[in-house]
Amino acid sequence: MNDLGGASVWLRGIGVCGSELNTWPNARAVLRGEAPLPAQAAPIPLCPRLPAAERRRASKVVNIAMSAGLEAVASAGLDAATLATVFATSGADGENCHAICVALASPDPGDHLLSPTRFHNSVTNAAAGYWAIATGAMASSTTLTTYDGGFSAALLEAYAALLTGTPDILVTVFEAPYPEPLHSKRPIGSSLGVALALSADAGPGRLARLPLARLRLALTDDMPDRMASGSLEQIRCSSPPARGLPLLDRIARGHHGIIRLDYLDDLRLAIEVEPT
């Protein structure tokens, strides 16, 4: 199977924040075998685009999502202020969730009153809210939670939006580890955000920069692709955003072909990648 047929969309920019792969240029060099995989995960930068009050309240996952998203938008040459967005995460802000559960489990009722910031940071769409405040984007935004299949679910959501009238869209998939005791029940590797800026068409005059690739999507029974390198395969399995590594790998290498990503237990996403 080398051709999925059907409608295509254009990948215009990639952002990578956190883990050993931090930033798309770094990740690309590692995936192409031109640079070694760093031994340590990169620190998470604070997002400079947030207003001071929000910057104080924004948690690690918000900064991961923002940094990855902004990198993808900048490299695509798109305007974040007018862009529709899809966010995906399985656990959202795990440190915040932990703190709420500890507070509510306290025998002292005085501890049960959560701070307002703690509560509003608990919504799965907190990153989307901070993103909109930072960029001024009033366009449509959604936040999906699909366990380990978030990368494929978000891509499918974006694909459907692009085929039904949304001109450009940003997909940001992010995850950070829980503290114990939740970490033992849901182990996540390094904090990671992966963002893709996508457009519905690449018509003449529309794009200032050449897109990275043309993508076609289809559902498949095929098993998901694995990474050839053992350490990269370990990363792929360590978090929902990392499940998108086979796509990044294909883009980095610039080869035309079909890759398959994890999605649900009995369903995977096939993507035909045609680099431009």
Partner 1 sequence: MEATRRALADGRSGLTHWRVDQSGFDTFVGPVPALSDLRLPERWADWDCRNNRLAYLALHQDDFADFATRAAARYGARRVGVLIGTTTSGIRETEEAFTRRDADGALPPSFRYRRAHTGFAAADFVRSVLGLQGPATVVSTACSSSAKVFAAAARLIACGVIDAAVVGGVDTLCGTTLFGFRSLELLASTPCQPFDAERSGLSLGEAGAFVFLERSAGAARSDDILLLGAGESSDAYHMSTPHPEGLGARLAIESALASAHLSAQDIDYVNLHGTGTRTNDAAEDKAVTGLLGRRVPCSSTKGATGHALGAAGAVELVISALAIQTQTFPGGVTTTRQDPALHCNFLRAPQPGRVRRVLSNSFGFGGTNCALLIGAAVP
State which residue, 74 or 104, has the beta carbon closest to partner 1.
Answer: 104
State which residue, 43 or 110, has the beta carbon closest to partner 1.
Answer: 110
Under rule CB under 8 A, which residues in 229-258 are in contact with partner 1?
A: none
To which residue do tokens 């045609």 refer? 274
How far apart are the C-alpha atoms of 69 and 90, rounded to whole Å? 17
Q: For the sheet containing 84-88, what is the strand order? A: 84-88, 168-175, 192-199, 8-18, 213-220, 267-275, 257-264
> C-alpha angle 95/101/102, rounded to 5°?
90
How far apart are the C-alpha atoms of 122 and 128, rounded to whole Å? 12
Under rule CB under 8 A, which residues in 90-129 are in contact with partner 1?
A: 90-92, 97, 100-105, 109, 112-116, 118-126, 128-129
Single out the residue of 132, 207, 227, 237 in contact with partner 1 (rule: CB under 8 A).
Answer: 132
Single out the residue of 160, 206, 234, 256 in contact with partner 1 (rule: CB under 8 A).
Answer: 160
272: phi then psi, degrees, rounded to nearest 5: -85, 120
- Who contacts 84 (Cβ-Cβ below 8 Å, separation ≥6)? 139, 140, 141, 161, 166, 168, 169, 170
Minimum distance of partner 1 from residue 188's CB (angstroms):
11
State which residue, 146 or 191, has the beta carbon closest to partner 1.
Answer: 146
Minimum distance of partner 1 from residue 183's CB (angstroms):
10
Token pair recorded at residue 251: 């883009």
Rule CB under 8 A: say whether 64 interacts with partner 1. no
Single out the residue of 2, 5, 228, 266 in contact with partner 1 (rule: CB under 8 A).
Answer: 266
How far apart are the C-alpha atoms of 239 and 180, rounded to whole Å? 17
State which residue, 32 or 186, has the beta carbon closest to partner 1.
Answer: 186
Minimum distance of partner 1 from residue 187's CB (angstroms):
10
Element (DSSP H or E) covering residue 265: none
Binding site for partner 1 (CB under 8 A): 7, 54, 57, 90-92, 97, 100-105, 109, 112-116, 118-126, 128-130, 132-133, 135-147, 149, 153, 156-157, 159-161, 163-164, 180-182, 184-186, 219, 263-264, 266-267
